[in-house]
Each structure stands twice: as C-alpha cells, then as structure tokens.
Amino acid sequence: MNQFKPNAYIQPDELTLMKILVTGAAGQLGSYLVEALATEHQVTGLDVKDTRWPVKGAEQVKGDVGDYRLAMKLCRGMDAVIHTAAQVSVDRSVSDPVLDARENILGTVNMLETATKSMVGQFIYISSAAIFGNPVKVPIPEDHPTRPLSPYGVSKLAGENYAFAFMETYGLGVTSIRPFNIYSPRQDPASPYSGVISRFVDRVKEGENLTIFGDGLQTRDFIAAGDVVRMVELCLGNDNAKGQAFNCGTGKATTVNELAALVAKLSGKKPEIEHTDPRKGDIKHSVADISLARKALRFRPATKLRDGLGGFF
C-alpha cells in the first residue's frame, strides 16, 4: 500500500469540478452519493433499476455494469468511478452463488477494465466488512485476516482483490471502502436484503413485537449512510486514499438488545421483545477499527445512532 502524504490531503470543498460515475445509483448508498456529489460535480448514475430519488442536474442511466459497451461509453471522460453496484443479499448468494459471482465479480471486473481503458483517474470500490468472516480480534483492523463465511463475502473480497490487481498491473488509482452495517431511511424493510434496523423499525411501526435471534448480546457497528458518503468525499482527489483500503464504521459497538430498546423508545411504543434460536453462522461481534481512516482521511463519523434512527420516525 502507498505511504501517507499529509500534504496531499484535500478538503472536499477545495476540489475542482469532477466528472463522476456512480454505479448502483438507485440503491441506498448510491442514491445518497449521487445526491451529495451532484451539488458540486457532474454526476452520472448507472443502475439496472429506475431510481426512486431523482436528483436535479444528475444524469440517470438505466443499464447493467456487465454491459461492456455501455460501461465504456459511460467511463469515457470520467475523473472518478464509484462502484457501489452489487448483489447484496447473503441469503441469495448462498442459494445462487453463480449469480452472485456473475454480478459481484464479473460486473466489477468489467467496470475496472473499462475504467482503465478510459484512463479514469480514480476508482473507488465499495467493499464490505463481510470479507473478514469471524473476527479473531475486535475492533477489526484493515489487516485482519480475511476468511468470508458466505459466497457474498467471497465475491466482495474477490472484487477488492481484482481492483488492487488492476492498480498494480495497469496503474489504475484504486481506493477500497469497507462499510460495516450501513443504515438509512432509504432501506426497504420489505426487501429480504434489509438489515436489522429496517426490520425492527418496520415491525414496531406495524405494532408487532421485535424478534431477536439468540441472546441479543451480539454486537454490530452501525454506520449512517451519510457518514459513508462523507468518507467517499474525503477519498475523492485525495492522494492519501489511492492504494488504500479503509474500514468504514463508527468504531462503537452496539448490542442487538440495545438497538431493539432504542428503536422501541424512539417509536414511542412499547413492543415486546422476543428471543428465538440463534441463526446458524451468525457472527458474534463485529466492530470496526477506524484509526487508519482517522489518520489518513481525518474521517470522523458525525451521526450518533440515536440521531440516525430518529430519521426513521
């Protein structure tokens, strides 16, 4: 990895106008990125789905990241590509690992190749904390061993490795960001891909009880989507970020029991909290060590969990 250059740090508001392609632009993180970046830059969003959050001034293109001709057309003239597009369901990756590999690995390789051939200056790959598997120490640093538990985790790790291989082989400027548990009101609670926060919020709004797998003492690092966007902004045009992989979390552990109690309190209701059998293969503790991002990017997560959850009600 590259050594840090403190004088290379660039505040986002010091950046000149950039042409940026965001893949997965109709998704939770991608939509926030398009919205935030379009205020200062020329942004194009790509997704197989129509966006539910159109942004004035941003171009929205419907298409697949696996489409070579389309990707070449869109990458041409871009200063940066932010690759968020992915198949994000662990369960789906287990039931259909071939589809997962096709979308997450081959789709990523296609974007890397077209970005390289188009001489894009920076490629920001949105990876996942799922690459680590069961942690051997917590908080989890970037150099923690990687042994994913699911095909999804494997495909995200493969995409990250391909990205850095393109950097070493072809000179593409690559940055990888590894979000832990992203949340926002744009998560669809009806989707099988939603996280525990969306499921809890949906159930409490419907007047249903909250179900916790196991004893609820398992910990997670919940990071607001807006803070992930902030890290991406800090990486854009920043020489410190090129060649680096950054954990993206708050560095704070929250038990599922604490999360359920907080959701219940903010809702103003009094749902019963039920415990059921633990899920097979569920990781007990997962919290990010974000000291590298603090040092290299001056990253500070700004959203407290209580405040972030307040946006759901």
Residue 258 buriedness (CB in 10 A; 0-12 / 13-18 / 19+): middle
pLDDT at position 6, please? Answer: 32
Q: What is the mean pLDDT of residues 146-171?
A: 97
* CATH number assigned to the domain comprising residue 36: 3.40.50.720
Going along the chain, which residue ranges are E strands? 19-23, 42-47, 59-62, 80-83, 122-126, 174-179, 181-183, 210-213, 219-220, 222-224, 244-248, 254-255, 273-276
Ordered DSSP codes for 117-137: HTT-SEEEEE--GGGS-S-SS
Q: What's the domain count of the chain?
A: 1
Write the Ramachandran bin of 24: left for phi over 0, alpha for psi from -120 to 50, otherwise beta. Answer: left
In a domain, 255, yes or no: no
Query: Residue 246: phi, psi to the nearest 5?
Result: -120, 130
AA identity, residue 210: L
Tell me the two tokens of residue 133: 């598997």
Q: What is the mean pLDDT of residues 53-67?
A: 97
Band (pLDDT 50/70/90 cuts) for residue 191 is low
In a domain, 195, yes or no: no
Band (pLDDT 50/70/90 cuts) for residue 188 is confident
pLDDT at position 95, please? Answer: 95
pLDDT at position 45, please? Answer: 98
CA distances from 134 to 232, 281, 284 (A): 26, 9, 8
pLDDT in tens, 114-136: 999 999 999 999 999 999 999 99
- Residue 133 CB neighbours (<10 A): 19
Q: What is the mean pLDDT of residues 221-229?
A: 98
Band (pLDDT 50/70/90 cuts) for residue 12 is very low
AA identity, residue 106: L
In a domain, 109, yes or no: yes
* pTM of structure: 0.93
Residue 150 CB contacts under 8 Å (≥ 6 apart), including other chains:
90, 93, 94, 130, 281
Farthest-apart Cα atoms in the chain, separation: 57
In a domain, 55, yes or no: yes
Please give the share of the chain, as a percent, with pLDDT higher than 90.
88
Catalytic residue among 9, 68, 125, 152: 152
pLDDT in tens, 21-42: 999 999 999 999 999 999 999 9
In a domain, 218, yes or no: no
Annotated catalytic, 170? no
In a domain, 133, yes or no: yes
CA distances from 228 to 149, 184, 290 (A): 24, 11, 12
Angstrom distance (rounded) from CA 246 to CA 240: 11
In a domain, 33, yes or no: yes
In a domain, 47, yes or no: yes
Domain hosting 37: range is 6-182+223-249+289-303
